[in-house]
Amino acid sequence: MATDGVKIIDGDHAHDVYHTFMDLYDAGASLPEIAAAVEPLNVGDDVDTEIFVTAYALALWEIGELNEAVRAGVAEVIERGAFATYLTEQEGLPAEGRRRYKVLERFWQKINQPNPRIRKRRNYKPAKTFIFNDGDVLAFQLPDGSYRATIMAQLESRRNRHMYQFITTTYHGIKRPTMEDIMTSKAVGRWLRSSTDAMWGLDFILAGPKPLRAYAQEFERIGTITIEPDLMRYSSYCYATDFQEFTNHYQYLATSNDHQRVGLAITDTMKH
């Protein structure tokens, strides 16, 4: 179950729904295309459903496209009051439960009025220069002189914000790795399981362009591979603002005793 704040957009699940919608909207997608991408995010229990429905309705209202079917869905989740009940009865936070009720009341009033300022599609500037390219395999040294290797899986660009996403590998040796070494190592992640299926998720270290430029010289490119797009989902992630943070996070992820964290052969992550 999602653990979000009491506002309409106030937690990971709500942000995922709202920003997936708006990113596609700004990219020029049609409403049916947006719905096809957003509606699969409506998974989980009644609390997750409430968060999904209200975030989706807000996005539609903001662009002037809220329809009666979605509005009726909002009325239904408000009447059910799953999130407020959960906060009150399960978390022992009755004050937060009352706050959630008030948020929903104000939200209902809001979406039953026309939006006076329709949100237009926005154009964002793509990144013009690249520190590393998608699929770059990079070697680096730890303070003890040993080598590790990472893969810059992709540069994600959202709303004028760019983030380099590095995959953790299990390679650890006293010599600079070769691509042959990389191919026999593993990508660190874990299985993300639901009641019906399981999906593989990778552990990422994220770095913005400005801090990354300050320590990019610590990496040496040894090759390139193409990661299967279907595997580009988070199991966990952390941010590195300098090289020490990068190596600290890396050592933790690569050596964690978390029994759920396992490795997937690099060859199995590659697009064929």
pLDDT tens readout for residues 20-47: 899 889 888 999 999 999 998 888 889 9
CB 122 within 8 A of CB 195: no
Whether the CB-CB separation of 17 and 37 falls below 8 Å is answered with no
Q: Are strands 220-224 and 136-141 parallel, antiparallel or unpaired?
A: antiparallel
- Distance between CA atoms of 172 and 154, rounded to whole angstroms? 22
- So where are the chain's domains? 12-111, 136-269
Residues 6+ apart with CB under 8 A from 39: none
The Cα 169–Cα 187 span in angstroms is 4
CB atoms within 10 A of CB 214: 12
Q: Which residues contact 83 (CB under 8 A, 6 or more apart)?
A: 4, 6, 47, 50, 51, 100
pLDDT in tens, 173-185: 999 999 999 999 8
CB 11 within 8 A of CB 54: no
Task: Give me the torsion for CA of 214, 235, 3, 60, rounded to 10°.
Answer: 80
Residue 223 banded pLDDT, cuts 50, 70, 90: very high
What pLDDT does residue 235 have? 73
Considering the entire predicted model, what is its pTM? 0.57
Mean pLDDT over each residue of the chain, to the nearest integer: 86
**89 half-sphere exposure, CB direction, 13 A CA radius:** 6
* CB of 150 closer than 8 Å to CB of 140: yes
Measured in whole angstroms, the distance separating CA 172 from the mean position of its chain's CA atoms is 27
Calculate what percentage of the chain has a pLDDT beyond 90.
55
Kind of pairing between the strands at 261-265 and 161-173: unpaired
Q: How confident is the model at residue 236 (pLDDT cuts 50, 70, 90)?
A: confident
The pLDDT of residue 157 is 74
